[in-house]
Structure 1
Amino acid sequence: MTEGSIDGVVVRDLVVHADARGALRELYVADWVPTPAFQQWNLVTSLAGTLRGVHVHPRHSDYLHVISGRLLLGLHDLRPDDPAARRSQMLELDAERPQVAFIPHGVCHGFYFPVSTTYVYGLSSRWSASEENGCRYDDPRLGLRWPTRDPVLSPRDEAPATDYDEMRAAWAASTSRHAESP
């Protein structure tokens, strides 16, 4: 298990048990992460050159595993009372080197796919568009160095309505709303 430079981000190497029949790989064990219950699981395919994000969630944490291909995971900590606040980090997850990554809520993240990739990710609470804030992937205040200047983006990620400061403010406001609700 590797603790990243951002508090709470965990990357764990997975063990593959292989024999003449095939292979078994444990993907998730509840005590591997501080948020042991996940409410939604998604399987995603992304074509080479795609960049998804950068997004941040006020409530849910993410847990991901690359099944085939490779992704570059860009992280930036927005949590104001965390010692790693405003710290950024780039990680690579590759199907050839089986790992899982846990991303706590409050840590912005984006994914770049240098090759076509399939991955699975879990969310600690159901996804809701109203609980996802984001900003443009290349905002310099994120401190993320993506290997491309012309990725394939969704319309939403290509022209988000917010910049870094607006994303931080929206995230802080939505975090406060969740803290006040029962």
Structure 2
Amino acid sequence: MIFTETKLKGAFIIDLERRTDERGFFARSFCQHEFREHGLKPVIAQANVASNRKKGTLRGMHFQFPPAAESKLVRCTRGAILDIIVDLRPESQTYLEHISVELDEDNMTALYVPERFAHGYQALRDNTDTSYQVGEFYAPTAEGGLRYDDPRLGLKWPLPVSVMSPKDQAFRPLREIEDALKRRMSPAPAPA
């Protein structure tokens, strides 16, 4: 695998290192040793898939608060998505900054999303599927979200939103939740 760290410390774009022959190619898409060598959490607690019927479908911006904060390894297995992550670590120099990465069935690129980041994506084609491995179990009492169109975040989605869940539409603006967000996303104090 080829690991490229983004401007957001700990967030990586992971490309396949393909071994090609007349049959096609073979590549490793996950390895605990390689993840650990890059300082990434090599734990998969759950594996999820999502199918998006219509291009323009938007999912996000989702996260879980500590102690149930999730790392994610996201890959598009059919179609194409624009994946966006936002740094929610209050102590980070890139707090509230984001990156966007196009993932599609051809490039097979993955995005590693560290804990304490918001994550969302928009389907760029009809019948788009994603797969993600998550480093923590889903905890409904720890989940949170940001508005996909919050002006403070300045996220640029390439298509008009065609489909979005009522839950995602109901996320409150950052100005209303930021104090609580910072408090809950702060790293735990070291034990004495």
Same fold by TM-score greater than 0.5: yes
Q: Which amino acid aligns with 1:127?
A: Y
Structure 1 residue ranges (4+ consecutive) displaced by more than 6 angstroms after TM superposition: none
Counting matched residue pairs gives: 179
Q: Which amino acid aligns with 2:61?
A: V
Q: Indicate yes or no: 2:45 matched with 1:46.
A: no
Match of 1:69 in 2: 79
Gap change, CA 1:165 and 1:57, over 3 Å in 2: farther
Alpha-carbon contact 1:131-1:174 (below 8 Å) kept: no
Deviations 1:120-153 (A, max 9, x none): 1011110122221112211111121111343310
* TM-superposed deviation, 1:155: 1.1
Q: Which amino acid aligns with 1:163?
A: P
CA RMSD of aligned residues (A): 2.2
Deviations 1:49-100 (A, max 9, x none): 2000011222111111111111101122111111211212211111111212
Q: Which amino acid aligns with 2:58?
A: L
Instruction: Find the aligned partners of 2:116 and 2:8 in 1 and give their Cα distance.
Output: 11
Query: 5 Å matches for 1:134-173?
Result: 134-160=145-171, 162-173=172-183
Match of 1:12 in 2: 14
Instruction: Find the aligned partners of 1:65 and 1:150 in 2 and give their Cα distance.
Output: 21
Q: Which amino acid aligns with 1:120?
A: S
Instruction: Find the aligned partners of 2:115 and 2:181 in 1 and give their Cα distance.
Output: 10
Instruction: Find the aligned partners of 1:158 and 1:152 in 2 and give their Cα distance.
Output: 10
* TM-superposed deviation, 1:45: 1.1
* TM-superposed deviation, 1:16: 3.3
* TM-superposed deviation, 1:165: 3.3
Alpha-carbon contact 2:74-2:112 (below 8 Å) kept: yes
Query: 5 Å matches for 1:1-150?
Result: 1-21=3-23, 23-30=25-32, 31-32=34-35, 34-47=40-53, 48-58=55-65, 59-115=69-125, 116-150=127-161
Q: Which amino acid aligns with 2:46?
A: Q
Instruction: Find the aligned partners of 2:30 and 2:176 in 1 and give their Cα distance.
Output: 35
Alpha-carbon contact 2:89-2:185 (below 8 Å) kept: no
Gap change, CA 1:67 and 1:147, over 3 Å in 2: same
Q: Which runs of 5+ in 2 are unaligned?
A: none
Alpha-carbon contact 1:44-1:118 (below 8 Å) kept: yes
